[in-house]
Structure 1
């Protein structure tokens, strides 16, 4: 009975999500005027640049240098994020609290800090730091460290709270204090999972580091932006390929580390591989040395009197000091901002809808057990061919950040919600497809093989065998990616994709600080609503 009730909930949820997606499509005035006058020729030029990228010595040399800058910023930012996440995550878990009251206070207070820091996108943090202290590598590093530290800290806290109570009780009964319980009880049980998830977030930090260029900081994103401004699409794709290569290298290293952690945990407990540990330490030291010497970045310069005055003026402006009519206290400004908030919501729903449709039609050939015939007992010569093509498309799709996709798409479409939704969908389609394919690869093959043996067609096998088994995980990943997209919608708006981001950029350009505060409040409200909706819906799916 409970199983039937869950299936009913999932079916209703699927219909509701489909209806909401259709509703979002009505926000677009569909027609030929969606394209620029030269949009189609521009699209062909961009495609030609993809086929024939610029591989000249100068471009390749600059690509290698920019790739290292992107990597160095990401490594430095993640090293600070780990420290912040480790400390605040432990405090947010409440495992060090001495009684129930202090545990609740600790969890509420520190989880609130983590929630605030992760709710604001890293590019917004970069804008704020650059406005406060000027162009500096530390603006990019801190902009990465704060939101990624908030994300990691939240996950670390959840991991600590999910630890089995039995070994902790055994330690406490042996006389261990709170700190000893943490060091010898909690951390050894979650250490492997913490490292595994940190490696995953490091992959994401590479892409985030690339888009720091939008506020004037160097790296691959900066070169992509300059090439796009000069309409040199062959150079654009050259730098994009460098970014894809960088993400792939980190992805391979991450998979190697996670696989090693899983095997060692299964065989004889957790211990870090010395090669990976040595390489990670060398990479962190190399990144900080480069930032300090080659970039000539000095941390203490940020604390100078001049920068202090800039920061004081900027943050004072955000809270409305010396402003008689701050935007966040004006009803008309709130009405306009809430309209933009609704547009941002519509953009996010369109984006996850487009990504879901694209992933749905490509996920079957992308699963390894479909390609080798082990799931359906149906081996065809073209299965591996399709598998390779779709997997390459997935890698290409997810390796290019949303902002970079938006920079190119805005040359084709006129400014509005559609280019933003398409850019977000292009990036998340690859992520969603990869996650879905892994779900199919991990499923029990016996029910599917029985269906295929009884004469079911491919379509019947999918709809009556595969889909009912994987639908809960599919819905969970859709909701998770929508939650992530919601945080990113403001970023694609920076290049004219509409919503809160477009107005945020204008407010920054005109130094309208109280308007920035108003837009940030709307953005945070939107993220909180998305978090609550996503979490509540995921519980209904289970």
Structure 2
């Protein structure tokens, strides 16, 4: 009876999600005016640049230099994020508290800090830091450290709370203190998962580091932006390929680290693990040395009198000091901002809808156990070809940040919600497809093999065997990516994709600080709504 009720809930939820997606489509006037008059020729030029990228020695040297800057910023930012996440995440878990009341207070307070820091996109943090301390590499590093620290801290806290109670009770019975219980009980049990998830977030930090160029900081994104402004699409794709190479490098490194962690019992696993640790330390030290010497970034300069005065002026402006009519106290401004908030919500729903459709149409050939015939018992020569093509498309789409996709698409479509939704969908299609394919690869193959052996066709095997098994996980990943998209919608608006982001850029350009505060409040309301809706919906499909 319980399983029937759960299936009913999932069916109703699927229908609701489809209805909401269709509702979001009505926010667009579907006509020929969506495309620029020169949009199609521009699209052809972009495709030509993709096929024939500029691989001249000058571009290659510039690409390697910019790739290193992007990597160094990401490594430095993540090193600070890990420290922040460990400290606040442990406090947010409540494992160091001695009674129920202090545990609840600790969880609410520190989880609130983590929630606030991760709810604001890293590019927003970067813009705020640049306004406060100027174009310093530390603006990019802090902008990466704060939201990624919030994300990691939340996951670390959840991991600590999910630890089995038996080993912890045994340690406490032996007289271990709270700190000893943490070091010898909790952390050893979740250490591998913490490292694995941190490596995944590091891949995301590479893409985030690249888009710091939008506010004037160097790296691959800066070169992509300059090339787009000069309409040199062959150079654009050359630098995009460098970015894809960085993401693949991190992905391979991440797989190597995870394999070393799972092979601890083997001697080779130990040596691999130590090599990974040594390489990580070397890269971290090298990044900080580069930022300190080559970029001439001095930490104590941030505390200079000039910077402190600028920060006071900026943050004072955000809360409306010396402003008789702050925007966040005006009813008309709130009405306009809430309208933009609704548009931003529609954009995010369209984006996850487009990404879901594209991933659903491609995920089956992208699963390794289908390509090799292990799941269905059908081995065809073209299965591996399809597998390779789809998997490459996943890597390509997710390696390019949403902002870079938006910067190219805005040359084809007129400013509005549609180019923003397409840019977000292109990036998340690759992520969603990869996650879904891994779900199919991890499923129990015996029921599917029995279906195939009984004479079921491929379509019947898909709809009666594979989909009923994987659909709950698919829905979970859809909701998870929608949360992420909600945080990112404001960013694609910077380049004319509409919503809160477009208005935020204008407010920054005209130094309308109280308007910035109003837009940030609306943005945070959206993120909180997305978190609540996503968590409630996930519980319904469990």
TM-score range, shorter chain: over 0.9
Task: Check whether the contact 1:188–1:270 (CA below 8 A) recurs between aligned residues.
Answer: no
2:2 aligns to what? 2
Q: What is the count of residue pairs matched by the alignment?
A: 542
CA shift, 1:267, in A, is 10
1:484-524 deviations in Å (ceiling 9; x for gaps): 00000000000000000000000000000000000000000
TM-aligned CA distance change 1:218 to 1:478, over 3 Å: same
Q: Establish whether residue 117 from structure 1 lines up as the match of residue 117 from structure 2.
A: yes
TM-score (norm 2): 0.99
1:455 aligns to what? 455
1:348 aligns to what? 348
2:404 aligns to what? 404
2:429 aligns to what? 429
1:219 aligns to what? 219
CA shift, 1:451, in A, is 1.3
Mapped to 2, the partners of 1:46 and 1:98 lie a distance apart of 61
1:302 aligned counterpart, secondary structure: helix
CA shift, 1:263, in A, is 2.6
CA shift, 1:365, in A, is 0.6
TM-aligned CA distance change 1:393 to 1:481, over 3 Å: same
2:38 aligns to what? 38
1:259-303 deviations in Å (ceiling 9; x for gaps): 221232799999981100000000000000000000000111111
Mapped to 2, the partners of 1:38 and 1:281 lie a distance apart of 50
1:27 aligned counterpart, secondary structure: coil
CA shift, 1:458, in A, is 1.1
2:365 aligned counterpart, secondary structure: helix
2:390 aligns to what? 390
Q: Establish whether residue 499 from structure 1 lines up as the match of residue 488 from structure 2.
A: no
Task: Check whether the contact 2:119–2:487 (CA below 8 A) recurs between aligned residues.
Answer: yes
2:510 aligns to what? 510
Task: Check whether the contact 1:483–1:534 (CA below 8 A) recurs between aligned residues.
Answer: yes
Mapped to 1, the partners of 2:105 and 2:119 lie a distance apart of 21
1:93 aligns to what? 93
Mapped to 2, the partners of 1:455 and 1:182 lie a distance apart of 54
Task: Check whether the contact 2:81–2:146 (CA below 8 A) recurs between aligned residues.
Answer: yes
TM-aligned CA distance change 1:540 to 1:272, over 3 Å: farther
TM-aligned CA distance change 1:221 to 1:265, over 3 Å: farther
1:217-242 deviations in Å (ceiling 9; x for gaps): 00000000000000000000000000
2:70 aligns to what? 70
Q: Establish whether residue 104 from structure 1 lines up as the match of residue 139 from structure 2.
A: no
CA shift, 1:345, in A, is 0.3
1:330 aligns to what? 330
1:341-383 deviations in Å (ceiling 9; x for gaps): 0000000000000000000000011011111111111111111
2:234 aligns to what? 234
1:241 aligned counterpart, secondary structure: helix
Q: Establish whether residue 189 from structure 1 lines up as the match of residue 189 from structure 2.
A: yes
Structure 1: gaps of 5 or more residues: none
1:273 aligned counterpart, secondary structure: helix
TM-aligned CA distance change 1:63 to 1:315, over 3 Å: same
Mapped to 2, the partners of 1:211 and 1:108 lie a distance apart of 33
2:204 aligned counterpart, secondary structure: helix
Task: Check whether the contact 2:344–2:499 (CA below 8 A) recurs between aligned residues.
Answer: yes
Mapped to 2, the partners of 1:264 and 1:540 lie a distance apart of 38
Mapped to 2, the partners of 1:17 and 1:482 lie a distance apart of 12
CA shift, 1:459, in A, is 1.0
CA shift, 1:44, in A, is 0.2
Task: Check whether the contact 2:260–2:270 (CA below 8 A) recurs between aligned residues.
Answer: no
Mapped to 1, the partners of 2:269 and 2:104 lie a distance apart of 32
TM-score (norm 1): 0.99
Mapped to 1, the partners of 2:463 and 2:105 lie a distance apart of 48
Structure 2: gaps of 5 or more residues: none
Task: Check whether the contact 1:264–1:271 (CA below 8 A) recurs between aligned residues.
Answer: no
TM-aligned CA distance change 1:297 to 1:207, over 3 Å: same
1:282 aligns to what? 282
Aligned CA-pair RMSD:
1.3
Q: Establish whether residue 364 from structure 1 lines up as the match of residue 364 from structure 2.
A: yes
Mapped to 1, the partners of 2:165 and 2:300 lie a distance apart of 45
2:364 aligned counterpart, secondary structure: helix
Q: More deviation in 377-386 or 135-144?
A: 377-386
TM-aligned CA distance change 1:136 to 1:529, over 3 Å: same
Task: Check whether the contact 2:261–2:269 (CA below 8 A) recurs between aligned residues.
Answer: no
Runs of 4+ in 1 over 6 A off after TM superposition: 265-272
1:364 aligned counterpart, secondary structure: coil
Mapped to 1, the partners of 2:183 and 2:443 lie a distance apart of 36
1:69-102 deviations in Å (ceiling 9; x for gaps): 0000000000000000000111111111121111
Mapped to 2, the partners of 1:227 and 1:503 lie a distance apart of 25
1:529 aligns to what? 529
1:105-127 deviations in Å (ceiling 9; x for gaps): 11111000000000000000000
1:154-188 deviations in Å (ceiling 9; x for gaps): 01111111111111111111111111111111111
1:47 aligns to what? 47
2:132 aligns to what? 132
CA shift, 1:201, in A, is 0.5
Task: Check whether the contact 1:192–1:270 (CA below 8 A) recurs between aligned residues.
Answer: no
